[in-house]
């Protein structure tokens, strides 16, 4: 177990695969990975997340059929899951240096908790 007290995992849900990005309480990316939409693969993701921090919180951008298996496995594993509306994800897109479309990694980063966005932006400004 790591020393992190909490980690957030943003999931960009898809039909065939999902993309997970994990950030710590300071908004730093801990890890990022593609996850096939398969019960065993999602179980491995949950196990990896459990080793990342003492408390894990999940944010998912879909609640429809594409995310059904993902949500079922997360709920069966008694994980804390929140839905992040697409409108919020799209608004967050303006914070990243992309041209109109988010890559899966950036979409996952947009699912960070609110205070992390300021941390990320301030770190970008210092480098410039």
Q: Is residue 16 part of a domain?
A: yes
As a whole number, the mean pLDDT across the chain is: 76
Q: What is the mean pLDDT of residues 51-64?
A: 86
**More confidently predicted of 9 and 95:** 9
Q: Is residue 89 part of a domain?
A: yes
Q: How many domains does the chain have?
A: 1
What is the CATH number for 61? 3.30.420.10
* Rounded Cα distance, 28 and 7, in Å: 10
DSSP letter (8 states) at residue 94: G
Q: Is residue 120 part of a domain?
A: yes
By CB neighbour count within 10 A (0-12 exposed, 13-18 middle, 19+ buried), where does 18 fall? Answer: buried
Q: Is residue 91 part of a domain?
A: yes
Output the pLDDT for position 115. Answer: 52
DSSP letter (8 states) at residue 126: H
Segment 89-105, tens digit of pLDDT: 666 666 655 444 555 55
Q: Is residue 39 part of a domain?
A: yes
Q: Is residue 95 part of a domain?
A: yes
Residue 11: beta bridge partners?
Answer: 20, 60
E-assigned strands of the chain? 6-12, 17-24, 29-36, 55-60, 80-83
C-beta of residue 110 within 8 angstroms of C-beta of residue 29? no
Direct distance between the N- and C-terminal alpha carbons of the chain, in angstroms, rounded to an integer: 36
Q: Is residue 1 part of a domain?
A: no
Domain encompassing residue 39: 6-127
Segment 33-42, tens digit of pLDDT: 999 999 999 9
For residue 46, what pLDDT band results from cuts at 50, 70 and 90? Answer: very high
Q: Is residue 115 part of a domain?
A: yes
Which tokens is 33 given?
A: 């990975």
Output the pLDDT for position 121. Answer: 45
For residue 52, give the nearest of 44, 63, 40 by alpha carbon. Answer: 44
Regarding pTM above 0.85, the answer is: no
For residue 106, give the nearest of 12, 9, 25 by alpha carbon. Answer: 12
């Amino acid at each position: 177990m790591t020393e992190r007290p909490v980690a957030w995992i943003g999931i960009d849900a898809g039909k065939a695969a999902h993309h997970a990005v994990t950030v710590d309480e300071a908004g730093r990316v801990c890890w990022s990975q593609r996850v096939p939409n398969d019960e065993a693969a999602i179980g491995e993701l949950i196990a990896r997340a459990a080793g990342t921090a003492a408390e894990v919180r999940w944010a998912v951008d879909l609640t429809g059929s594409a995310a059904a298996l993902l949500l079922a496995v997360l709920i069966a594993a008694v994980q804390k899951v929140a839905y992040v509306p697409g409108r919020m994800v799209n608004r967050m897109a303006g914070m990243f240096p992309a041209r109109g479309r988010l890559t899966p990694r950036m979409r996952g980063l947009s699912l960070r908790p609110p205070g992390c966005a300021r941390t990320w932006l301030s770190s970008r400004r210092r480098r410039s």
